Structure 1
Amino acid sequence: MRMAFAIALALLTSPISAETLVERGAYLVGSVMVCNNCHTPRGPQGLDMTRMLSGGQTFDEPAFKVTASNITPDKETGIGSWSDAELKHFLVSGIRPNGSAVAPIMPTIFYTVLTARDLDALTAYLRSVPSVHRETPAPEYRVALKPEMPSYAGKQATEGELSDKLARGRYLITIAHCLECHTPEGPSVVHDFAGASGKGGRTFKGPWGSSVSPNITSDPVAGLGQWSDDEIKRAITQGIARDGRKLKPPMAYAGYATMTAQDLDAIVAFVRTLPPKS
């Protein structure tokens, strides 16, 4: 009896059981998936958190022109009229409740790995944020979009798998869609995931000017092969390169700075396994 009581008490007070779904969702949105980076408006001083997740950055690409949508619970301009099942389906498929598909700049293909609990957590958190009534421009699709399958995506993960450090790191860099930015474009303006995952080389323009995503593979010259763990963590969380250079956005350094030590360790461990590309 005493042993059963002790086990029950330990479960009730464990870090996992103490974290609510809303808290887990807030961590995923703010620290790992950094949804604010696209879905929150930017002002002269940066992200306007008074209108958090109410629609933000516009992406004007050869294939489409789209603005990150309002994902607050507003029923008219946000996702307030969506059911939980519709929201979860959208996150892993990119298909809205009305049957239309979102542009692939929304990394739903990477979210196919989200565990069932994390899908529940994201849904719970997005229901909890302040509702903001804010229209975003309708999307413009200029050419037919070809489906892609990134490295490490496509199969839902389980909570049990995340107890392994490397599996956890793979999961985290996938839902953080790191390889979306750190993989160059190939033929037909799609990513070359098969041949160049993590090689970098994509150019991003914004208020910061122009920045090029670096090589994050284990290559000892072009990549991170000679970097220490602490140097990699500093680059992720502070935007400072190994040589002291200040790195530019759109990398969401402030969001990643709030990740747990366990998750940062797992990410660094897995990044070390990326095959070298130069």
Structure 2
Amino acid sequence: MRAAVSIALALLMAPAMGETLTERGAYLVGSVMVCHNCHTPRGPQGLDLSHALSGGQTFDEPAFKVTGSNITPDKDTGVGNWTDAELKRFLVSGIKPNGTKAAPIMPTEFYTVLTARDLDALAAYLRSVPPVRHETPAPEYRIALKPEVPTYAGRQASEAELSDKLARGRYLLTIAHCLECHTPEGPSAVHDFTAASGKGGRTFRGPWGESVSPNITADPATGLGNWSDDEIKRAITQGIARDGRKLKPPMAYAAYASMTPQDLDAIVAFVRTLPPKK
């Protein structure tokens, strides 16, 4: 019986039958990794998907001022002249073909866990989107930033290990870079992953006004310890808190609503294991 359950789970977590690399890449970009949140321009009505991935939000922080870059295959202003190897190296290192490094708002440290297949899928999908000519401003770096190693990142995952539900949840939570927003920053814009991973408390300002990331650890008083699975899923996919409050962006609720039920289940199962932080 145990062997049968293991086989069934492995089949459930395996790539969908007939899923192409481009389809897998579209799912990662549009749902799990929410690349549009930073790389697609935002108008009064929300994301302008007619110019998808052509450069988007500007982040004006004490440490830097950068704009989400053009990652369409436009040869002059996008990544059209990058090789697949250069694109995949950038995703996990932040290093561009010209040797410069992206600002830390690009969560490349989290992407170090991406499987070889998912890196191939991302490259394939980014090659397939319509090229848009749109030049984004050059970045401004105001202070030297220390490198970070986020919780659960730093080692490439294998497809085989993702057949385990908790391992898959950890993987998805990492490539969705949830802990980037849900961990407070200390001095010099460095996250306190050691002592406060998942504790929340970061402030985000945008067209929505101001929002503060909540505690997503298992703490029963300030975190998700007393939430049901369905309440956590509703918060992720609809932006509705346990008490019925409407949650604000930049959490990409509409994108997460398109995640598969299996992936949502895996994320919730893993979030339950985050050590409680007050």
Same fold by TM-score greater than 0.5: yes
Superposition pairs for residues 1-278 of structure 1, below 5 Å? 16-278=16-278
Distance 2:190 2:108 in 1: 15
Asked whether the 8 Å contact 2:201–2:213 carries over to 1, the reply is yes
- The one-character-per-residue Cα deviations of 1:74-114 (angstroms, maximum 9, x if unpaired) are 00000000000000000000000000000000000000000
Alignment-mate amino acid for residue 190 of structure 1 = V
Instruction: Say if 1:137 and 1:15 are closer, same or farther in 2 by CA, change over 3 A.
Output: closer
Q: What's the secondary structure of 2:244's corresponding residue?
A: coil
Displacement of 1:145? 1.3
Alignment-mate amino acid for residue 101 of structure 2 = A
- The TM-score, its normalising length taken from structure 2, stands at 0.94
Displacement of 1:202? 0.2
- More displaced, 149-158 or 184-193? 184-193
- The one-character-per-residue Cα deviations of 1:141-200 (angstroms, maximum 9, x if unpaired) are 111111000000000000001000000000000000000000001233210000000000
Count, aligned residues: 266
Asked whether the 8 Å contact 2:217–2:274 carries over to 1, the reply is yes
Distance 2:160 2:178 in 1: 23
Distance 1:118 1:156 in 2: 11
Q: What's the secondary structure of 1:205's corresponding residue?
A: strand
Distance 1:189 1:84 in 2: 31
Distance 2:224 2:253 in 1: 18
Q: What's the secondary structure of 2:148's corresponding residue?
A: coil
Alignment-mate amino acid for residue 128 of structure 1 = S
Distance 1:132 1:269 in 2: 39
Structure 1: tracts of 5 or more residues without a match:
1-10
Distance 1:257 1:247 in 2: 14
Distance 2:230 2:63 in 1: 39
Q: What's the secondary structure of 1:16's corresponding residue?
A: coil
Aligned match of 1:6: none
Displacement of 1:16? 3.2
RMSD: 1.0
Give 4+ residue runs of structure 1 displaced > 2 Å after superposition.
14-17
